[in-house]
Amino acid sequence: MKTIESFFEPFPVLETERTILRRLTYDDLDDMYSYCVVPAVSEFTTWDAHKSKEDTKAFLDFVMSRYDVNLIGPWGIEDKQTKRLIGSCNYLGCDSDNRRVELGYVLSDQYWNQGYMTEAVKRIIQFGFDEVGLERIQAQCLVKNTGSAKVMEKAGMQFEGVLRKYMKVKNELQDLKMYAIVKEDFYTRIK
C-alpha cells in the first residue's frame, strides 16, 4: 500500500478556476508576510501574527526542510490573475493505514468572503479522493471561527460535533468544531 506521502513525490501542482496550488518558495516571503502580519488572520490559529519577515522566513525554512526530505508540506495558493501568494493549505496528521488526513489552511484577509479558500479546499479534497485514495478528510476550527466553518460546509464537509477542551491555542484549552467528508459521500454528491 502506498503511503500518503508518496503522492507528494514529486509535489503535486493543482489548479482551480482562479488559483494554482503549488509548492511554496522563498520568493513567496513578501506575499506571505503581508498577510501573516495581520492579527485578524492569525486570530483563530495556533500561531501568532508575524512580527517581522524573519518570522515568515523561519516558517518557510521549516516548510523547505519538509520538502527537502519528501515530507508533506503545504500548497501555496497563488492567485492566477496577480501571480501573488494569497494563502496556503495542507494535509496534516496523515494516517496512511486509515487513509485519513486533516486539512489546515490560512488565507490573506484581502481575499476573505470571495470563495477562494472554498475553491482551493474543494480541489484538495478531490485530489485526496481521486488521486491519493483517501477514505476520510477532516478539519477542525475554533468554535468562534465562523469563517472557517463556512468554508468546510461549502466544500461539502459535514459537522460532526464539538471536541470540548480539545487543544491548547494561544495558551488556553479551546473547544473545536469537527467537520469531515468521507469518500462515499463525496462521490454521491458529485453524481
128: left (phi over 0), alpha (psi -120 to 50) or beta: alpha
- Dist. CA 178–CA 142, nearest whole Å: 9
Average pLDDT in the 139-147 region? 95
Cα Rg of the chain, angstroms: 16
Summarize pLDDT for 14-45 with one digit per residue, the tens: 999 999 999 999 999 999 999 999 999 999 99
Summarize pLDDT for 81-136 with one digit per residue, the tens: 999 999 999 999 899 999 999 999 999 999 999 999 999 999 999 999 999 999 99
pLDDT band at 71 (very low <50, low <70, confident <90, very high): confident
| pLDDT reported for residue 70 | 82
| pLDDT reported for residue 190 | 61
| pLDDT reported for residue 59 | 97
95 neighbors 101 (Cβ within 8 angstroms): yes
180 neighbors 155 (Cβ within 8 angstroms): no
- Predicted structure pTM score: 0.94
Task: Tell whether the model's pLDDT for residue 191 goes beyond 60.
Answer: no
